Amino acid sequence: MQQKKFEELFESYLKNELSVSDEQKMMEMIRQNSHDDFIKEKIDLMLRENSSSELLDKEKSDYILKRILSDSENSQKVILLEPQRRNKRVVVRLLFAAASIIALIAIGNSLFFKPKTGDTIPVTEQPAIAENTLVDFSGKQLVRLPDGSTVLLNDKSSLKYDQKSFNSKTREVTLTGEAFFDIKRNEKKPFIVHTGKVQTKVLGTAFNINAFDSSKNIEVTVARGKVQVGDAEKIYGVITPNQQIKVNRSTLNFEQNKISAAVVTEWKSNYLILDDINMEEAVALISQKYKVQILLSNEKIRNCRITASFLNEEDLDHVMQVITSVIETEYHYNKAGTVIISGKGCE
């Protein structure tokens, strides 16, 4: 049912026939990662219909999809697909316009620039360059890694990893700034965070790293599980919940202390992250953040799942408008100021 609805929204979007609310609903459904195959097939089909008859291989299709589903806000990427037996290039522009919670993804006729019959298009020869497999995220956002782990980036922070080597023998990323990591456990593939010369190694846990360039120290704080901190030559220590290792980035001198992880990660309280949870859990988080009572008029609404990130201090009405449009419900306030969500819900 959800897949059919998504396909209808997607087709209408390509024809420029979607309302603002339906467009918002479609973008949220894309973020739920359950329609990846359909999007890849659509990209492949549109490229087939382009001036080039070359097939889009799986690696390129996956790469484009990854860019669409997890790129950062306020960025513009240009991907060049070069057919092996032709000189003509197919240029795919993925334009990401800033929105309050996610980047609005521009897909459609304005995205795939097809040359008109008879037009002369100058082709500029460029030297071949090695494929860049580095994925880079910047600014405050929730990043979902290929292994299912998530990273919540603070403002003025960045995360990088090589998609070709990630999740092979190890899962390695490089952090600048601050981030909260929630790592899927995999004893065969350690997760390693590089911050300058300091390496933070885990199997599966939740922890915070503060490594802004402006600070002389790198601070690793554990919220759940165990974390090993060290460098290429030695291990500084293994810390558990509410413990922190602070490392001087110049001298590599370090100290280990007890500290409240809740205090260290207080910066996350400004964000509202609904990461593939049911509406009962979502309502609890929203009620806690906005200090308001929210009631579900239909038990089946509890079954609906939602994935959304609100990172710009959005007001309650904005949050409710987005959520109710995604799960096809409505909301209103009663006389007591309680938010009532009504609709048919989900099976």
Longest dimension (CA), the chain: 71
In the chain, where the domains are located: 2-106, 141-266, 271-342
Give the amino acid at 177: G
3-state secondary structure 248-298: ECCCCCEEEEECCHHHHCHHHHHCEEEEEEEHHHHHHHHHHHHCCCEEECC
d(CA 344, CA 39): 28
C-alpha angle 47-49-55 in degrees, rounded to nearest 5:
50
pLDDT at 63: 52
pTM attached to this predicted model: 0.62
Residue 319, both tokens: 């949050």
C-alpha angle 310-313-318 in degrees, rounded to nearest 5:
65
- Among residues 70, 111, 75, the alpha carbon closest in space to that of 93 is found at 111
Bin 325: left if φ > 0, else alpha if -120 < ψ < 50, else beta.
alpha
pLDDT at 166: 95
Q: Per CATH, is 271-342 categorized as 3.55.50.30? A: yes
Residue 55 to residues 40, 47, 50, 140, Cα–Cα distance (Å): 12, 8, 11, 36
- Among residues 305, 304, 279, 296, the alpha carbon closest in space to that of 338 is found at 296
Name every residue whose Cβ is closer than 8 Å to that of residue 179 and which is 6 or more positions away in sequence. 151, 152, 153, 154, 157, 159, 208, 209
Give the CATH number of domain 141-266: 2.60.120.1440
pLDDT per 10-residue tile (average), the chain, 347 residues: 75 73 73 68 60 46 50 38 33 30 34 39 48 87 94 96 93 97 95 97 95 95 97 95 96 96 94 92 95 94 92 94 94 96 92
